[in-house]
Amino acid sequence: QGMLGDVLGGLARRAVFMAEAERLGLTVTREMEKSHVANETAFLDETGQFSVLRFRDTLARAGLDEESYLNYVNGELQGGQIFAALIPGVNYSPALAAEIAAWRLERRVISYVEIDVSADAAATPTEAELDAWYADNGESYDSPDLRSVTALVLSPEGLLDDVEVSEDDLRAEYEARSDNFITPERRVIRQMVFAAEDEAADAVNRIKAGESFADVAMAMLSLTDDDTRLGSLVAEDLTEELSAPAFDAATGEAIGPLATALGQHVLMVDDITPSTTVSFEDARPGLATSLEREAATDLVYSRIATLEDSLSSGATLEEAARAAGAELVTIDGMDRSGRDIDGNALDGIAADTKFRQSVWTADINEDGFVEETNADTFFVLRVNSEAPSAPRPLADVRDRVIADIKLERAVEAARATAESMVAADNLADAAKANNVTVIESPAMRRDGVSFDHSAARLIAAKAFTLGLDETSFVETGDQAVVMTVNAIMPAEGEALADETERMQTSLSANVASSLEGIVANGLTRTHEVSINAQAVQNLLIGQPN
């Protein structure tokens, strides 16, 4: 049911908890309501305090008044008291959470070699081998169901030759987009913020006397160098009080004290990247492409009326294409996925999903109607013929068969080399004998994070099935990767403690959610729930026509 099912389920759970709370005589005090509202993040201002203005504005934008919202809160708090009584007893096993955390954080280091699958190096099959392969695998070369199509296509790309952009247009567009061609000056800035102006002034004097910004920040505020870094900023990133002084100063100069609502600031500029401007000549190619595309798009829409008039007057696709200046495209054989008889992807309009769907739902030998794709492109098609799937003679697919045999041989050769290397006593010696390089991975987790390899997940999954110093291999499709586990690094210390806490919190929440569902299901035996699903659906997606 998707979203509708989720909404209905939520309404049902809320209803039974509220009904049970009412049966038990549970009440909600005014203080409970005030506390709930005051802690709702949507109603807090920038300082984290409850804002009456934000409260009323949020309710107004949601289409609620204060009374209806408080009634909703009352129901939530009333029903929530039942579930809240169960929560203290919901606590996932700390020991099991620690085991899961340790499993997730364990890391491994491997040495590995890559054996390429090189189809070009494989032996070319003989005629007898070709015949034998085709006899066993001929069905895989059958032609798919194919339709041959003639399509009238009206697109911006097809009309680019019909538009011209003048020099004046280009210069006007350059001026209109001038902000896009200017890269503003950036400055790498550090900052200290003090409560009192005299403290900030003291910090400035100490820096001017020869102390480093980092030493002063540590001595006066216990801030590390990283704590003070604001990063690379443009002037607009800073408040008005800080922007001008910071962007007027030289590098290495102590700036301040500067007062803002947050306190007294001391700044220092470490590096300056000057502003740059792309010249008109450098911007010209991009501007021309953009304006030509815009003009061609406008031309598409101006010619739609001509196209529709031609078709409505009985013109053929060919005649309508000439009248509207549209392209006439012929596709001699397209399958349902937009590929040709050999499985090669067709480009142009055949790559469009809607076009392909229309091709395979259209009647044969009937001109269609004007349809629009997602790229300001319109088309009208006619299916000329359809050919069902059929066997193909070896002569028609000879190149494909040869390529497939050579690929299989290359895969088998890479696999055999990998197996021989696994059987060897030493990966380094085996690699040298096979003229491949041994690479050492970084410490990686089970998901391959931190391992920069296109098959990182696959390789990591295999590595975590091996013991220390064990060797095995995986096949990625274009390689066989042979690996030996060099180190197994258990999780420990603060990282393990943090992950254990996170896992316990997450798993306990999952258990609590499941328990809520079980309790709600049980309460439906006591309280009958009836929900008008049609009304909810109308609210979500509107009234049906």
Q: Could you report the per-residue pLDDT of 168-201, keeping only the tens digit for each?
A: 999 999 999 998 999 999 999 999 999 999 999 9
pLDDT of residue 538: 53
For 81-94, the pLDDT digits (tens) are 665 655 555 566 78
Other CB atoms within 10 A of residue 320 CB: 25
Alpha-carbon distance 325 to 154, whole Å? Answer: 8
Residue 271, H or E segment: strand 263-273
For 321-340, the pLDDT digits (tens) are 999 999 999 999 999 999 99
pLDDT of residue 261: 86
Q: Which residue has the higher pLDDT, 8 or 431?
A: 431
Alpha-carbon distance 37 to 51, whole Å? Answer: 10
For 398-417, the pLDDT digits (tens) are 999 999 999 999 999 999 99
Instruction: Check whether the bond before 257 is cis (ω within 30° of 0).
Output: yes
Lowest-pLDDT choice from 38-42, 304-308, 493-497: 38-42
Encoded tokens for 145:
């169901």
pLDDT of residue 61: 76
Q: What mean pLDDT do residues 25-54 have? A: 75
Q: Examine the pLDDT at 541 and tell me if it is beyond 60.
A: no
Alpha-carbon distance 522 to 287, whole Å? Answer: 66
pLDDT of residue 68: 73
For 86-116, the pLDDT digits (tens) are 555 556 678 888 888 899 899 999 999 999 9
- The values of phi and psi at residue 210, to 5°, are 125, -10
* Alpha-helix residue ranges (DSSP H) falling in 480-532: 493-523
Q: Examine the pLDDT at 118 and tell me if it is beyond 90.
A: yes
Alpha-carbon distance 525 to 417, whole Å? Answer: 66
pLDDT category at 51 given cuts 50, 70, 90 is confident
Lowest-pLDDT choice from 71-80, 134-143, 453-462: 71-80
For 349-401, the pLDDT digits (tens) are 999 999 999 999 999 999 999 999 977 999 999 999 999 999 999 999 999 99
DSSP state letters, 276-317:
EE--HHHHHHHHHHHHHHHHHHHHHHHHHHHHHHHHHTT--H
CB 200 within 8 A of CB 256: yes
Residues in CB range of 352: below 8 A, 6 or more apart: 373, 374, 375, 377
SS3 content of the chain, % helix, strand, coil (to 5): 55, 20, 30
Place of tokens 């390899």: 453
pLDDT category at 62 given cuts 50, 70, 90 is confident
pLDDT category at 3 given cuts 50, 70, 90 is very low
Q: For the chain, what is the mean pLDDT?
A: 87
Encoded tokens for 184:
């503003």
Q: Examine the pLDDT at 533 and tell me if it is beyond 60.
A: no
Q: Examine the pLDDT at 16 and tell me if it is beyond 90.
A: no
Report if pTM > 0.85: no
For 279-289, the pLDDT digits (tens) are 999 999 999 99
Q: Which residue has the higher pLDDT, 57 or 109?
A: 109
pLDDT of residue 423: 95
Q: Which residue has the higher pLDDT, 503 or 531?
A: 503
